[in-house]
Amino acid sequence: MDDSVEGRALHRARERRERREQVLEGDDRGPSDLHSPSPVRQRSAKQVATFHTHGRSTPGWRPPRKGSMDVQPSLMEEVTSQLLRYEPPSAQFWDPATVTWSALWGFMNLTYVMIAVAALRILLLNYLRSEPILDMEFLEWSLEGAVDTLALYALMVLGSLSVFALHWLAAHQYISVPLREMLYRFASGVHLLVPYKVFLNRSLSPVPAFFIALQSMVLLMKHHSYYINLRALQIESGGLHPERVRLRDFLYFLVVPTLVYRVDGYPQSPKIRPLFLVNRTLQALGCMFLIYEVVVYSMLPEFKRVNEVPTLQFVVDLMMPAVLLWILLFVATFEVILNVFAEVTYFGDRRFYNDWWNSINLGEFSRKWNRPVHDWLYMHVYQPLLRRGYGKVVAQSCVFLFSAVFHELILSITFLRVRIYLFALMILQIPMITAMSGLPLHSDKHRWMRRAANIWFWFGMFLGPALLFLIYCKDYYQEHERA
């Protein structure tokens, strides 16, 4: 009897072992067999239905067979794959809520907390050291001549009305078209040279000078786009009809965040959102505060001893602050200020930039990071050259040259001296862009090459601004010390 009992026990143990091996090997039976009356099979079915992978239930999961792999992607990989397949909506006005926020909102909160801690840390340390909580010397220096700066900007805006007046007079046949062409070119030259002349005589700080130089270029580009599109309409319709030249349209074009004039109007947003404006206003104040902190506590001490420290040390010390300053200025300009202007003017096209952080060279970056300027260059420089028979390479090089000249002109007005440092750095990128154009960087088989090119691009973004600060600040402080 003992032998029979022992035999039956060994037999049952052997059956249990065989069934367990079948479950672990995946079992070739279909899903309906999972609900067999066997107690072992019932437990296996329960395990199959409740198996978890990194905390996520996967009904119907079964262990892989021997020699096979069943790797579940991580949540970050899933979000990344969704973003790679994501295409912006084609609507002219849309709600920016996407899968990115729903999946990564905690990381965004962490980012905000880290920024707040970094910003308040300096203020707290100054308070504990019994020092002024915030150094206001740079702010007072930057606001010197603020009244004159605003007055000059108001005169520039009023001067813009002369461009409209020329087209209105020509449309009503008070002046001839050739006379309008000549007077327009004269007005553009005056508009470009007056700010430089005023600041050269008054020697104000670089902050108001940069503001006036930038606004002068913006108004000049708007004037040219208005002139070109009205002239094209005149040629197309055989004459410029007076109802097409309206002061309301011109003034609206001056305040909307675009540089290209559209005769047929722009996409419109349905309404003004007060909470959106409040949110963007708070973001603008936060960005301005962070910019001030970065300049005062991380950059000005390095600027003041630019003639005392080795060049390499100065560049290394300014790499992080320079990139951080540039990113803050980008966010304040394209994500906050332009959106505020678009909201209050019912301007529907809010795509002011593309994914510039994925760029592989300066050419792609220049096309993506500033869409208003890129659209203007494309409409008024690139396309006219193609229509005149020039090739794409020549047209792209001319666009890049034109952009380099305008950037250098803004810095020349800002620092009140003509240099070609930024111009030279941008021109040196043309051979590199041409050489990289032949590489299969957009092929799925060579993604590593595109990633390597993007890493090289970011290395240039860290090094380039620091070098520009070095050479321009060195000249500025040397001139200031001699004065």
pLDDT in tens, 119-167: 888 888 888 888 888 888 888 888 877 788 888 888 888 888 988 999 8
Q: Report which of residues 235 and 353 the model is more confident about.
A: 353
How confident is the model over 273-329, as pLDDT tens digits?
A: 899 899 899 989 988 999 998 888 888 888 888 778 888 888 888 888 888 888 999
Give the rounded distance of the alpha carbon of 365 from its chain centre: 9
User: What's the mean pLDDT in 202-218?
Assistant: 82
pLDDT of residue 40: 38
Whether residue 40 is contained in a domain is answered as yes
182 versus 28: which is more confidently predicted? Answer: 182
Tokens of 278: 């409040």
pLDDT band at 470 (very low <50, low <70, confident <90, very high): confident
Residue 46 has pLDDT above 60, yes or no: no
In whole angstroms, what is the distance from residue 118 CA to residue 129 CA? 17
Q: How far apart are CA 472 and CA 483, in angstroms?
A: 17
Q: What is the dihedral of CA 107, 294, 195, 166, to 10 degrees?
A: 10
Contact 212, 199 (CB under 8 A): yes
Domain assignment present for residue 127? The answer is: no
- Looking at the domain assignment, is residue 368 inside a domain? yes
Q: Which pLDDT score, from 0 to 100, does residue 255 have?
A: 92
Whether the per-residue pLDDT at 41 is higher than 80: the answer is no
Domain stops at, among 34, 53, 72: 53
Q: What is the pLDDT of residue 86?
A: 54
Per the structure, how many domains does the chain have? 2
102 vs 455, which has greater pLDDT? 455
E strands, 71-152, are none
Average pLDDT value for residue range 37-59: 40
Please give the average per-residue pLDDT across 87-109, as a whole number.
Answer: 58
Residue pair 115/289 in contact by the 8 Å Cβ criterion: no
464: Cβ contacts below 8 Å, ≥ 6 apart: 425
Instruction: Say how many residues make up the chain.
Output: 483
Average pLDDT, whole number, for the chain?
Answer: 77
Give the residue-averaged pLDDT of 82-100.
52
The residue type at 228: I
Confidence of residue 45 (pLDDT cuts 50, 70, 90): very low
- Which H or E run contains 366? helix 362-368
pLDDT of residue 65: 55
pLDDT at 175: 86
Does 194 or 479 have the greater pLDDT score? 194
- In the chain, how many H helices and how many E strands? 20, 2
Of 42-46, 199-203, 251-255, 319-323, give the lowest mean pLDDT range. 42-46
Using a 10 angstrom Cβ sphere, with 0-12 exposed, 13-18 middle and 19 or more buried, the burial of residue 151 is exposed
Burial zone of 348 (CB within 10 Å; 0-12 exposed, 13-18 middle, 19+ buried): middle
Instruction: Give the model confidence (pLDDT) of 49-67 as tens digits.
Output: 333 344 444 444 455 555 5
198-206, Cβ contacts within 8 angstroms, sequence gap of 24 or more:
198/152, 199/413, 199/416, 200/416, 202/145, 202/148, 203/416, 204/144, 204/145, 204/148, 204/149, 205/141, 205/142, 205/144, 205/145, 206/414, 206/415, 206/476
| pLDDT level of residue 252 (50, 70, 90 thresholds) | very high
181 lies in some domain: no
The pairs formed by 12-16 with CB atoms below 8 angstroms and a separation of 24 or more are 16/40
Please tell me the distance from the alpha carbon of residue 466 to that of residue 316, in angstroms, as a whole number. 8
Give the mean pLDDT of 424-449.
74
Amino acid at 79: V
404 domain residue, yes or no: yes
Q: Residue 187: inside a domain, yes or no?
A: no
Which of 53, 79, 96 finishes a domain? Answer: 53
Domain membership of residue 223 (yes or no) is no
Say how far apart CA 444 and CA 170 lie, in whole Å. 55
Which domain covers residue 28, as residue numbers? 2-53
Q: What is the pLDDT of residue 358?
A: 86
Residue 480's pLDDT band, with cuts at 50, 70 and 90, is low
Average pLDDT over every residue of 67-78:
56
The answer to whether 171 touches 180, Cβ cutoff 8 Å, is no
**In the chain, % of residues over pLDDT 70:** 74
